[in-house]
Amino acid sequence: MYAIIGGSGLANLNELDRRRREVVRTPYGDPSCALTFGTIEGVDLVFLARHGYGHTIAPHEINYRANLWALREVGASQVLAVATVGGIRADLGPGALVIPDQIIDYTSARKGSFFEGPDEPVTHIDFTHPYSEEVRAGFAAAARSIGETVALGATYGCTQGPRLETAAEIRRMQRDGCDLVGMTGMPEAALARELELPYGALAVVANHAAGIGESSQAISLDAIGVVMNLAMERVRRILAACLRASAASAVDAPVGSAPAASPSASAGKTESP
């Protein structure tokens, strides 16, 4: 079953044929909201609003561990995350849709691992390629199938928030090789990998990052709303196309055939000796 994590501007999926909501408790506390189950294009999915249904939870206060744990607990096998970002790279202006392939983590003091505590062995995961190639390819094919342009490949820099960045911080991130800046990509992606859940993100550029282009003096929060409303309609269509493709491939697959292994699902976990 697919899981969709909706971020700012995507607290509800209108095209979801809702069946039920379920409150899931986890050993790590409560997820951001009750999980919503339903179908899109006849395909089962579970939806979680990262900031809560009323957008009440700030990026640094999200219980990422509970969110990912709950999704795995209810049977999610793949996570499609939608994330709002600022654009750093020149060609990634407001309204651009991007499928990132790398992450730099600038956050601090977030609970970023399931492997902690006296009873847990020290465990390391491979995170060379933080996003699942299978999920990324699914997003790209879905966008192509409906004629939507998406940028393939970008480095997502995750900041702590909730404040936006200074111009100097963005210049530093640019020197580091970041193309996008957001506040929620980590530890979400790493926790998904710890649970061996294939995870990919579709990033929606809401604004030029601080100090860049029309944000050279300030980031206009009013302008963001307009951009996001238009962009989220395109995101919804891409998500629906993802699910349509998965329904079609389920029909095409020979009975009993195994789903393609994803790089992240096969990524080894390493326990320290």
Of 78 and 207, nearer to ligand HPA (C-beta) is 207
Torsion of CA 133, 138, 139, 142, to 10 degrees: 160
Q: Which residues pair with 179 in a beta bridge?
A: none
Helix axes 221-252, 133-145, angle to 10 degrees: 100
Q: Footprint of ligand HPA on this chain (CB under 6 A)? A: 84-86, 159, 164-165, 181-183, 206-207, 209, 219
Shortest distance (Å) from residue 103 CB to ligand HPA: 14
| Alpha-carbon span 32 to 66, nearest angstrom | 8
Of 33 and 209, nearer to ligand HPA (C-beta) is 209
173 and 165 Cβ atoms separated by less than 8 Å? yes
User: Radius of gyration over alpha carbons of the chain, in Å?
Assistant: 18
Residue nearest to ligand HPA (CB): 86
Of 209 and 242, nearer to ligand HPA (C-beta) is 209
Structure tokens at 255: 């009975």
Of 88 and 243, nearer to ligand HPA (C-beta) is 88
Of 63 and 84, nearer to ligand HPA (C-beta) is 84
Shortest distance (Å) from residue 61 CB to ligand HPA: 15
Interstrand relation of 43-49 and 35-40 (parallel, antiparallel or unpaired) = antiparallel
* Closest CA relative to residue 156, chosen from 137, 127, 184: 184
Shortest distance (Å) from residue 160 CB to ligand HPA: 10
User: Quick check: helix, strand or coil at residue 241?
Assistant: helix
Of 16 and 231, nearer to ligand HPA (C-beta) is 231
Shortest distance (Å) from residue 215 CB to ligand HPA: 7
Contacts of 245 (CB under 8 A, 6+ apart): 138, 141, 142, 145
